[in-house]
Amino acid sequence: MKVPILRVATLLLVCGGAMASHGCAQEPLDGEASMDLISLPDPQLSGEMPLEEAIHGRRSIRSFRPDALDLRQVSQFLWAAQGITDPEGLRSAPSAGATYPLEVYLVASAVEELDSGVYRYDPTAHGLLPVGPGDRSEEVAEAALDQRWIADAPLILVLAADMGRTTGRYGERGRRYVYMEMGHAAQNVYLQAEALGLGTTLVGAFRDGDLAEALGLPSKEEPLGILPVGVPSP
């Protein structure tokens, strides 16, 4: 790793304190007593572009320049998707009953100061947890019915869900709530991209099993959406 790594007690980070009142959204992966957390820069809470301009300018972008992104931009996208925005642990996107079923994965292929690989976002620590090494963007594009442009993006966000967190409280209707929540998180990513002069597209056409395998998702999580991000190519 090229960036400082903190050894953290994951259980304390993800399930302690006020978060418990909103459910333990992120459980530790099997067999992990501690993990290597890559701290992200603090997100910026103000920007140059008014919200109305971002809504007006937002478009789906499928053509990217080869420029790398940096950790500051990564931080901003992950915060927009699922960042903690409240002392009680509430997040940037609404969640039915604050059950927080979503997990955000980062497939990095050209991010300064970050080795190519798959990472999982830890909202509580605002950091990245390594899942697997190596550039997986080609596999993601293949899983997405061969939408080749996806592999050109320097980074790809994948929104996945542990449905049980929400169906455990709301029964089968909880699945509907999770899909709604994914849409909220995805729109946040779109608007954040617009505000930063970057581009993205929500991709819903993919083979679930192939994408889960490309990312190494735990069996209880299912992928719901892919958001390739990059500098728009004119």
Ligand X SMILES: Cc1cc2nc3c(=O)[nH]c(=O)nc-3n(C[C@H](O)[C@H](O)[C@H](O)COP(=O)(O)O)c2cc1C
> At 188, is the secondary structure helix, strand, or coil?
helix
Q: Which of residues 91-110 bind ligand X (CB under 6 A)?
A: none
Q: Contacts with ligand X in 149-188 (CB under 6 A)?
A: none
The piece of 35-43, 63-71, 122-130, 197-205 that touches ligand X (CB under 6 A) is 197-205
Cβ neighbours of 31 (radius 10 Å):
5
Residue showing tokens 């960036």: 3
Residue nearest to ligand X (CB): 204
Q: How far is CA 112 from the centre of its chain?
A: 18
Cα dihedral 120, 123, 126, 128 in deg (nearest 10): -10
DSSP H or E stretch at residue 137: helix 137-143
Do residues 38 and 114 lie in contact, with contact meaning Cβ atoms separated by under 8 Å? yes
Collapsing DSSP to helix, strand or coil, 120 comes out as strand
Q: Is 57 in the site for ligand X (CB under 6 A)?
A: no
Q: Which of 110, 143, 178, 202 binds ligand X (CB under 6 A)?
A: 202
Question: Should residue 141 be labelled a site residue for ligand X when binding is judged by CB under 6 A?
Answer: no
Applying CB under 6 A, the span of 1-9, 34-42, 58-66, 84-92 interacting with ligand X comes to 58-66
Bridge-partner residues for 161, per DSSP? 102, 222
Interior/surface letters 128-150, b for 16+ CB within 10 angstroms, e for the rest:
bbbbeeebbbebbbbbbeebebb
Residue 114 or 159 with smaller CB distance to ligand X:
159
Residue 15 CB partners (closer than 8 Å, separation 6+): 24, 26, 27
* Interacting positions 205-234 with ligand X (CB under 6 A): 205
Nearest residue (CB) to ligand X, 14 versus 195: 195
Stretch that binds ligand X, among 17-25, 57-65, 76-84, 126-134 (CB under 6 A): 57-65
Exactly one of 38, 185, 203, 212 binds ligand X (CB under 6 A); that residue is: 203
Q: Which range touches ligand X (CB under 6 A), out of 80-88, 119-127, 134-142, 196-204?
A: 196-204
- Verify binding: residue 62, ligand X, rule CB under 6 A: yes
Question: Contact residues for ligand X (CB under 6 A)?
Answer: 59-60, 62, 147, 201-205
